[in-house]
Amino acid sequence: MPETYVLWIVVVAALVFDFINGWNDSANAIATVISTRVLTPLAALLMAALLNFAGAYLSTRVAKTIGGGLVDPKVVTPQVTLAAMLAASAWVIWCTRKGLPISGSHSLIGGLLGAAVAAHGVDAIHPKGLVTVLTALFASPVMGLLLGYALMKALLALFARSHPGRLSRVFGRLQIVSAGLMALSHGTNDAQKVMGVITLALVASGQLASVEVPLWVMTACAVVMALGTALGGYHVIRTLGMSLAHLRPINGFAAETAATAVLMGAAAFGVPVSTTHVITASIMGVGATRRLSAVRWSIGEKILYAWIFTFPVCALLSAIVSWLVGPKGLFGSI
Question: Which tens digits make up the pLDDT trace of 97-117?
Answer: 777 767 777 888 888 889 888
- Lowest-confidence segment of 49-58, 207-216, 244-253 by average pLDDT: 244-253
The H or E element containing residue 67 is none
Q: What is the pLDDT of residue 236?
A: 61
pLDDT of residue 245: 58
Mean pLDDT for 177-184 is 86
Tell whether pTM > 0.85: no
Q: What percent of the chain has pLDDT over 90?
A: 7
Select from 92, 174, 136 the least CA-distant residue to 263: 136
Distance CA 275, CA 137 (A): 10
Is the model's pLDDT at 298 over the cut of 80? no
67 vs 136, which has greater pLDDT? Answer: 136
Is the model's pLDDT at 326 over the cut of 70? no
Q: Return the minimum-mean-pLDDT range out of 58-67, 170-179, 202-211.
A: 58-67
Dihedral sign from CA coordinates of 269, 274, 279, 280: negative
pLDDT reported for residue 279: 82
- In this prediction, residue 235 carries a pLDDT of 58
**Dihedral, 276, 279, 283, 284 alpha carbons, nearest 10:** 60
pLDDT at 116: 86
Which residue intervals of the chain are DSSP H helices? 3-35, 41-55, 61-64, 78-97, 104-120, 127-158, 164-204, 215-231, 234-238, 249-268, 275-288, 297-325
**In the predicted model, what is the mean pLDDT of the chain?**
79
Indicate if the pLDDT at residue 334 is higher than 50: no
CA distance 239 to 31: 8
Band of the pLDDT at 28, cuts 50, 70, 90? Answer: low
Q: What are 237-251's pLDDT values in tens digits?
A: 665 555 555 678 888
- Determine the average pLDDT of the residues in 163-175: 85
Q: What is the C-alpha separation between 74 and 76, in angstroms, rounded?
A: 6
